[in-house]
Amino acid sequence: MYGVAIMMLSTEAATKAIGTIIVPAVLISACAILLNGLILRYKAIEDLLRSLNHEWLNLKEIDAGNGNISIDRVYHLEHLISKLFVHHHILHDVLIYIYLSILIFVVDMLAIAVAGATSIQWVSYLVLFIFLLGVGILCWSLFLTCYEMRAAHEFIQIELQKSCHSCNSRRGKSRASLFNYSSTFHH
């Protein structure tokens, strides 16, 4: 009878450990879903950067051949490229942070297994610390993603050279300063 009680306790402990390990596994799945969308966005920005740079180089070639080009268009392209680099860099950092979160959650699952196999008290605290570290890094990456998405709205206004009327009414001011890109670059 005593052997059965130990077996039940051990089964109960194993079930509890598996349940505890599921939490980081669910977060890893959530990170993977986030990564899919963000990688597509990162690639779209990369493609747009290449396209704008190609147009900029073509205009520079025309200028070198003493062709008739619009200096404003060159300034506009330079401004767009510099703004896009910021977006690209932010998303690059976000992707690294999410991959780091996944790594931390995997380490946390290993620490949970160690905590379940031993009765050392500080290992339980370590498991919690590792988990909270992963959640914190994931939260920071989500904050950066929100920031980048907000900045992307401003970028679209610059690219189209049109102001968003919803933004103007909320802020009570004109966004005309967004389109003053020729003063940004001095040639």
Residue 123 and residue 114 in contact, taking contact as beta carbons nearer than 8 Å: yes
Q: Is the pLDDT of residue 177 over 90?
A: no
The residue type found at 92 is H
Q: How many residues does the chain have?
A: 187
Over range 100-127, report the average pLDDT: 88
As a whole number of angstroms, the distance between CA 42 and CA 29 comes to 20
Distance of CA 127 to the CA centre of its chain: 25
Over range 47-57, report the average pLDDT: 91
Q: Where are the beta strands (DSSP E) in 79-163?
A: none
Q: Is the pLDDT of residue 157 over 90?
A: no
The residue type found at 36 is N
